[in-house]
Chains A and B, each alone.
Chain A
Amino acid sequence: MKNTKDYSILAGGAAGQGSRIAGLIIAKLFNRIGYNIFIHEDYQSLIKGGHNFSQIRVSSENVSSHREEADFILALNEDTIKKHGERLAKNGVLIFNQDRIKSDKGIGIKIDTITKELGGIPIMSNTALIAAFAKIVGIDWAVLESVLRQAIEKGIDKNLEIAKRAYDTTEGLVKIEKLKNKPKPLLTGNEAIALGAAKAGLENYYAYPMTPATSVLHYLAGHAKKLNVIASQLENEVGVINTAIGSAFAGKRTMTATSGGGFALMTEGISLAAMSETPILVVNSQRSGPATGVPTYNGQSDLLCTLASGHGDFVRFVAAPGDAEESFYWTGKLLNLAWKYQTPAILLTDKDVSESTFVFNEAVLKQVKKEKDLRWNGKGEYKRYADKENGISPMAFPGQPGAVVKGTSYEHDEFGISTEEREEIVKMQEKRLRKFEAMAEAVDEMEDAVKVYGNLKSKKVVICWGSAKGAVKEAAEHLGLKVVQPVVLQPFPEKQMYKELKGASKIVSVELNSTGQLEQVLNSHGIEADKRILKYDMRPFTAQELEVQLKKI
């Protein structure tokens, strides 16, 4: 990569020390001077103590994976140096809290002393460290001040005072070049999910907290007025899915987000949505499993259970985004599809998309809007399950004059009354089957159901999904390979996959699980991989480690 400017920064501290916020502020500094950003968050399942760190990648290129090697390390605690000191690049710079850490290498800043002298509270030491870093890398004070003003709500004047002291008393070391790009919004996958849903007309959001999906609830609750949604935390995931279905039956666009364990609890509800033909969008943000697993670390091991979620014979829409833009787009798209086809839809994301921070290109905003769904024309007797040719019955909602709207979990007739008659059972199952065909046809028409990157002429193809995309794309671009990322996973985009894999001489599948779940899906569609790269230490892939493995092909 010629003329590429690419820096890797690691900011670490104990939980509660604010290393995540510090990382985000640093990312914003670089965003303001034209760099692309990617942040990977590594944190433990505890409230205070332990060791958390943000890995920030700033680049002139559009990157969405972290690098192991760090050009800068910002240490709020000693653990950061102990655990990550080895990762410092040859010419890298270590910047540390000199009041708490002894180190003969690097640049020590007495951030606690500065904070104390100026009458600040302990957390403000982070501001001092950020300011010192900004000076070291040559970021203008004006940029720093502007970012701090926007990022810090409480005690901004005191923070600025502390920042100024740290900035002025630190020596500049390098001058990071300013780029001409305009700053872009930085969004986590979960924030993008919240915004994408809202753009597609989300009205009610229900959830029970579960890492790594919780921040969707936080974001929607925190922006409820601006986004015109009601966000409710309920008693458990079973309550959540059934309440969400109730709201959708009453005419409101609804969504919920959870992770594997909560998703498992919701599956009976997903089956109810299929039978009652109630539109519902469920986000399953994967983490490592089985069971409680490693709660704050990633995994891509819920694919098969998601594709088969809920008892009974039915099809759901499933899509897996690989970054924030895709999260926004596919959340919106799935909410619309759920309503168009009156069916459950599942956004299958994973921790390193949900909680990583990406540059968000606003062009994607125009691609999502609330699309029309099929409504009853008000003529004649209303039948909720009217037997239509494409299997899609017009919707009316309770409260609408002239309609008696009967939704049900039982097999039913067109009116919605329970039935055990064999002709009625077959008729309704066949109505739904025709709808599933229509859903498959819709996927057939989606050009973006499968995305490709890298050298499109290469006969060597790497297949990946979800968060693995970032590192795979970067590695493949280096090595001149083609990348195929199926985003829609049910109904399976067979046509697009066959097209992209036509003439491939080698196929490699890359996944963050131990049994190759996507590969099993590919196999069931007659696609065989020649090699699999699996990782199950629950940490994300880096482009560098993938390059080593992909070179051998």
Chain B
Amino acid sequence: MEKLETYCPNTWCPGCGNFGILQAVKDAVNSLIESGTPKEKIILVADIGCNSKIVDYLGLNSFYGLHGRSIAAAEGIKLANPDLTVLVFLGDGAALDEGISHLIHSAKRNSNIKVILHNNRLFALTTGQFTAVSPKGFKGKSTPEGSVEDPINPLELMMASNAGFIARSYALRVQHLKNMIIEAVNHKGFSFVEVLEPCVSFFNNMQFYNENVYEAVNDDPSSKEKAMGLIKEWNYAAEGKVPLGLFYKVEKPTYEDQMGRVEENKEADIMECLKDHI
């Protein structure tokens, strides 16, 4: 087992769901290293928010980008060096509010990056405001009377965006999450793993999740119909069963494979281009 920790003091709240995600990521990374991925070929890309501190806590290559823009940076890293395994960590505010366009387009172009959505269903680091996945009626400092907006279902959005790998896990089911991350990495193409997590300080729905999440069995992940059934089973409200697991998986050519690579040590042929200009 590689020691992956850094000297950076952990500043998450006691009981934060991110601890479970951190453990699952460590386990998944170790498993990847054991099965032959060189450690230096792994890079973590983070956004801004509590979740994104994960890159400070892991002694791995990382790029800690701007709020909402981690997916864009990750795509650039992957296209520049397709040999890297690129894991992106971002929250619901980043993925579904600030940076929703990048999420949609990254899925659409099938960039071979692994998006891990820390979904606590609110802005936490800014002390509790609603996001695109907060339930209607969410009371935060910006919506003291309750949010008037219905949440969107991020997995449905990913289906509509032609994502080739869509899964959901839960921060407190570390083994399940670890497996989902490994499956996402092994999928050749854009992968989206939603991780539900309670925010112990501003939106503690741990009990609800503990009582209602279940590991769904999907015998045909290539079926859009079955995937949509699982995806729509829960409507991001405070009731109903919440299925976990790999919902949809279909392989198709990646963006990087289709765009190709620049040739090493080959100079631009300027003279050839200039011929057309005389």
A186 and B278 contacting across the interface, CB-CB below 8 Å: yes
A198 and B270 contacting across the interface, CB-CB below 8 Å: yes
B residues in contact with A195, CB < 8 Å: 268, 270, 273-274
B residues in contact with A242, CB < 8 Å: 65-66, 69, 72-73, 76, 102
Q: Mark A384-428, 1 if CB is under 8 A from B, else 0.
A: 000000000000011111111111111000011110000000000
Name the interface size band of chain A.
Answer: 35 or more
Please tell me if A339 contacts chain B, counting CB pairs below 8 Å. Answer: no
Please tell me if A226 contacts chain B, counting CB pairs below 8 Å. Answer: yes
Instruction: Give the interface segment out of A46-54, A70-78, A232-240, A511-519.
Output: A232-240
**A31, A240, A398: which contacts B81 (Cβ < 8 A)?**
A398
A residues in contact with B1, CB < 8 Å: none
Task: Name the CB-closest residue of A to B69.
Answer: A242
Given contacts A204-B79, A242-B65, A247-B76, contact A226 B272 (CB under 8 A): yes
Q: Mark B139-179, 1 if CB is under 8 A from A, else 0.
A: 00000000000000000000000000000000000000000
Please tell me if B55 contacts chain A, counting CB pairs below 8 Å. Answer: yes
Given contacts A239-B72, A250-B80, A398-B40, contact A365 B102 (CB under 8 A): no
Q: Is chain B's binding surface mostly helix, strand, loop or mixed?
A: mixed
Within 8 A of A (CB), among B55-71: 55-56, 59-66, 69
Given contacts A199-B268, A227-B268, A251-B81, contact A418 B65 (CB under 8 A): no
Task: Name the CB-closest residue of A to B76.
Answer: A246
Task: Name the CB-closest residue of A to B43.
Answer: A398
Given contacts A203-B262, A242-B66, A404-B59, contact A185 B105 (CB under 8 A): no
Task: Name the CB-closest residue of B to A194.
Answer: B273
Please tell me if A289 contacts chain B, counting CB pairs below 8 Å. Answer: no
Name the interface size band of chain B.
Answer: 35 or more
Please tell me if A91 contacts chain B, counting CB pairs below 8 Å. Answer: no
A272 and B66 contacting across the interface, CB-CB below 8 Å: yes
B residues in contact with A232, CB < 8 Å: 79, 259
Bound together, the chains give a CA A474 to CA B205 distance in angstroms of 73
A407 and B76 contacting across the interface, CB-CB below 8 Å: no
Please tell me if B38 contacts chain A, counting CB pairs below 8 Å. Answer: yes
Bound together, the chains give a CA A268 to CA B72 distance in angstroms of 13
Please tell me if B36 contacts chain A, counting CB pairs below 8 Å. Answer: no
Given contacts A204-B76, A365-B270, A398-B43, contact A406 B69 (CB under 8 A): no
B262 and A228 contacting across the interface, CB-CB below 8 Å: yes
What are 28 A-B contacts with C-beta separation under 8 Å? A195-B273, A204-B76, A204-B262, A206-B76, A223-B273, A226-B273, A230-B79, A230-B262, A232-B259, A234-B105, A239-B72, A244-B76, A246-B45, A246-B74, A246-B78, A249-B76, A252-B81, A252-B262, A398-B41, A402-B40, A403-B61, A404-B59, A407-B63, A407-B64, A416-B64, A417-B6, A417-B8, A418-B64
Q: Give the top 7 A-B pairs by smallest Cβ distance, nearest first.
A: A246-B76, A242-B72, A198-B268, A250-B80, A246-B73, A243-B76, A408-B64
